[in-house]
Amino acid sequence: MNNIFKFSIVTSFLGLWITTHVPENFELALGFILIFTFGMIHGSNDLLIMNKIFEKSKYYSKFSILTAYLLIVLLAVLVFYLLPALALSLFILFSAYHFGEQHWEQSFIKCNNSLKSVFYFCYGMLILYLLFTFNDTGVKSIVFEITGFKITNLFKLPILITLGCFIGIVLALELYSKRLTIEIVLTELFSLLVLAIIFNSSSLIWGFTIYFILWHSIPSLAEQIKFVYGDFKLESTLKYCKSASPYWIISLIGMIVLYTIFSDEKHFYSLFFAFIAAVTFPHAFVMVKMFSKKKYDHK
């Protein structure tokens, strides 16, 4: 059990304690503060990572990488503005795969690539659907605010059973073939139990915050720092934060400006998820390239 996992467990229960001891408005505000700090910073160094990936390439310059990145962000914003239902669906699908990949990439080294990709998606979707299941009303409200569509049924039980069965079968096969250890499987099952308890006891935004920050962003930051600087020491972490800070500040200013323009509260969730989606799409692609590069370098 590594140190980051222990940290996630302990701080998750601290987050659960906060849920029962502070007003809901404070919990909501703290959730957004954490998302706009740790959450945004973990995706603010995509350009640095892409430059690292293509540092020896003759075909990709820093300018071309920056241009492609900005075009993807602008396209995501445009899709959210013109086709919010499609954009929200794509955001959930991309996020599911991204969450699953980050969580399992180190454990599924020997697994078949196609099966691994499907597993990543299903595992990430299971986590999201656990969150949706315990916050049914909040999910329906936000979906209506963003898309204008009323959802009457999330089909929670059939989807959870389907995802759970597929994940269970894959894990059993990996255990049988000795590509996974029983320790890893039991640890991950315990993680799902902890997350289910957190989601059941928290609001939608606070539950998402706990998972997104403690179980995704911080482990992802550690992976990114090791990829760029070769270790996860304090000096490397400070270098990473210094490099990410200009992009983080620009993103934060952009969010504040947009919120000022659309200050009516009913627009906030639409704006929030549009902004998060705009940076999630290119970030998910960058992480796929980073993990592929790590595997190639270790061959």
pLDDT tens per residue across span 21-39: 878 788 888 888 888 888 8
Report, as an integer, the average pLDDT of 267-281: 73
pTM, whole model, 2 decimals?
0.87
Whole-number Å distance between alpha carbons of 287 and 49: 9
pLDDT band at 40, cuts 50/70/90?
A: confident
pLDDT at 83 over 80: yes
Report, as an integer, the average pLDDT of 250-273: 68
Q: Per DSSP, which regions of the chain are E strands? A: none
Angstrom CA distances, 202 to 197, 211, 221, 224, stand at: 9, 11, 25, 29
Angstrom CA distances, 266 to 7, 136, 139, 142, stand at: 36, 19, 15, 10
Residue 135, classed as helix, strand or coil, is coil
pLDDT at 184 over 60: yes
Q: What is the mean pLDDT of the chain?
A: 83
Give the domain ranges of the chain.
Answer: 3-297
pLDDT tens per residue across span 160-173: 999 999 999 999 98
Determine contact, residues 16/202, Cβ cutoff 8 Å: yes
pLDDT tens per residue across span 204-213: 888 899 999 9
Q: Is the Cα dihedral 151, 156, 157, 159 positive or negative?
A: positive
189 CB contacts (<8 Å, ≥6 apart)? none
Angle at 44 between CA 39 and CA 49, to 5 degrees: 125
22 versus 112: which is more confidently predicted?
Answer: 22
pLDDT band at 178, cuts 50/70/90?
A: confident
Q: Which two tokens stand for residue 164?
A: 């759970």
Q: Which two tokens stand for residue 225?
A: 């720092």
